[in-house]
Amino acid sequence: MTTLSAHSLTKYQFKRALRPFSFGVALTTCLIGITAAWQQGLLIPLNAVLVLVGGLLLQAGVNLINDYSDIAELGDSAQVKASVIAIRRNFRIGMLCFLLATPLGLYLVFDRSIALLGLFLVGLVGALGYTLRPLNYKDRGLAVLLVFWLMGVFMVAGSYVAVGGTLNTQILAQSVPISLLVSLLLLSNELRDYESDREQGLKTLTVRGGYERSRRLYLSLLLLTPLSTLLLWGLKMIPAPWPLLAALPFMLMPLRYLNRPAEERRPLPPATGRLVMIFGLLFCVTIG
């Protein structure tokens, strides 16, 4: 087995595996759906609370099972034994999060629409398939694409329906800007871990395509976010997006880390996570 860096072995500690900076994804995607329903006078308050709690549990679960496939690459030497134990512990806690979210989801299905069951099942399979075989779409280089749908579009649209709305093209369109940022956050993780993932033989999109291509993809997704927002405004699907101007400084902050060496790139995901949170909250203000 290749000797792993200290960073590679400590990334499985519970707090790091939980990735608190990413909780803005669940919070903002759910809030956008909730805000859209509220703005239309459709909001069911209890369902909104359940959606937020369930969304945060799902985000925690996805984060904690994220590293499970790494076990096969780490091997069983004494050097990595503690990391394997940590990965398995995190996996169990992640599965508990999914278990706790299940009754909340079932309540929303029976209260609102059986159609939500299909959406929840697709989301659950997608969450479990992130690193678990035979899907393991993280190792297939598909994570950046699939989280756009699973943790972006589906979360916004599902939240909207669960709290009182009916699925329509407007809410799907309104989900696009934040979904682009969800993919951006996942890509920031891959960029940060590029060297360690390559060292462990993981085949993420960034490892497959190389750091420079993924850096350009990061910049493209970042640019597409305001462009898609302006398009929504032009199509009269959202009001004037002036509140979102306050997010511009947060769009620039992550750029300072993109061209740095590996050991100086660790702030990239937290900086991107702050962007997701700020943009998402301001988007709620815009449509509210």
Tokens of 171: 């809410």
Among residues 28, 26, 32, 25, the alpha carbon closest in space to that of 286 is found at: 32
Tokens of 240: 């004037």
Which pLDDT tens digit goes with each residue over 206-255?
Answer: 999 999 999 999 999 999 999 999 999 999 999 999 999 999 999 999 99
**Model-wide pTM > 0.75:** yes
Res 70 pLDDT > 80:
no
Euclidean distance between CA atoms 179 and 163, whole angstroms: 20
Res 280 pLDDT > 60:
yes
Euclidean distance between CA atoms 145 and 142, whole angstroms: 6
Return the half-sphere exposure (C-beta side, CA atoms, 13 A cut-off) of residue 136.
Answer: 13
Query: Averaged over 149-174, what is the pLDDT?
Result: 95
Res 11 pLDDT > 90:
no
Query: Averaged over 68-77, what is the pLDDT?
Result: 73
Tokens of 157: 């649209």
Res 1 pLDDT > 60:
no
Query: Averaged over 139-163, what is the pLDDT?
Result: 93
Given a contact cutoff of 8 angstroms between Cβ atoms, the answer to whether 146 and 136 are in contact is no
